[in-house]
């Protein structure tokens, strides 16, 4: 009996101390990686079951911005997208993805986001109804890119509720759509935070002329990440 208890204890101790190798490697690759907490309980504030993925996206982005300025060129946002893809865990599709965007392709997304959005989603293997929902969702983000974060957040909360209540969607497609929505919300939340900090800095210094207009950087990033986020 004592031997059995000892064996059980050793097994439980080993299990508790073990970590996913991929996750451990990812964190070790980032210099001074920190699990940063978002301001408030949640940027999204909804019942999205994949909210943790949005928080993880936010944490990775903040770690990138600790050592890099906010992107102000196609090359810089390309570097940010590559960094996010490298460390976004819990998504085997994202880990295997090698999007290989050129700077010109990033500019193409910036100049005509609708066309690239439709191209990416139509080339995926999710159902027709999911393609329509996902396309409509991101197009509405593009339309509302000048809106305050709180307005867009409320739109995303309502969208999530509709997706979760949809009985016709398969579980994996719900996961794909809700993952895109939570990452979108945290991307826009981070952008709103950055604009607040930039405004404070601009009181004493003259900022460089930005390449990206309101929320464009966040939306370009979300569209560029879609091939990695859509589970085919």
Distance CA 85, CA 214 (A): 23
Name the residue among 44, 27, 35, 26 with its Cα closest to residue 190: 44
pLDDT confidence of residue 88: 79
Sketch the domain layout of the chain as residue ranges. 23-229
In terms of DSSP H, where are the helices of 18-73?
21-29, 51-67
Instruction: Considering only residues 97 and 186, tell me which one the structure prediction assigns the higher pLDDT.
Output: 186
Q: pLDDT of 83-119, one tens digit each?
A: 998 887 544 454 444 566 899 999 999 999 999 999 9
Range in 31-40, 57-66, 208-217, 220-229 the model is least confident about: 31-40
């Amino acid at each position: 009996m004592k031997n059995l208890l000892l064996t059980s204890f050793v097994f439980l101790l080993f299990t508790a101390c073990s970590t996913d190798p991929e996750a451990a490697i990812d964190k070790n690759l980032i210099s001074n990686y920190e699990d940063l907490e978002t301001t408030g309980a949640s940027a999204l504030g909804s019942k999205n079951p994949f909210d943790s993925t949005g928080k993880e996206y936010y944490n990775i982005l903040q770690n990138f911005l600790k050592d890099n300025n906010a992107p102000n060129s196609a090359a810089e946002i390309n570097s940010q997208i590559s960094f996010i893809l490298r460390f976004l865990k819990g998504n085997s599709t994202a880990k295997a993805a090698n999007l290989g965007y050129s700077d010109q392709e990033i500019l193409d997304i910036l100049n005509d986001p609708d066309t690239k959005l439709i191209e990416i989603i139509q080339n995926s293997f999710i159902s027709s109804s999911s393609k329509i929902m996902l396309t409509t969702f991101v197009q509405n983000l593009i339309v509302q890119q000048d809106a305050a974060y709180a307005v867009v957040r409320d739109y995303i909360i309502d969208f999530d509720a509709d997706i979760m209540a949809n009985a016709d969607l398969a579980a994996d497609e719900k996961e794909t759509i809700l993952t895109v929505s939570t990452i979108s919300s945290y991307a826009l939340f981070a952008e709103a935070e950055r604009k607040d900090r930039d405004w404070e800095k601009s009181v004493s210094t003259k900022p460089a002329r930005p390449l990206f207009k309101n929320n464009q950087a966040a939306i370009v990033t979300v569209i560029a990440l879609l091939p990695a986020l859509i589970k085919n």
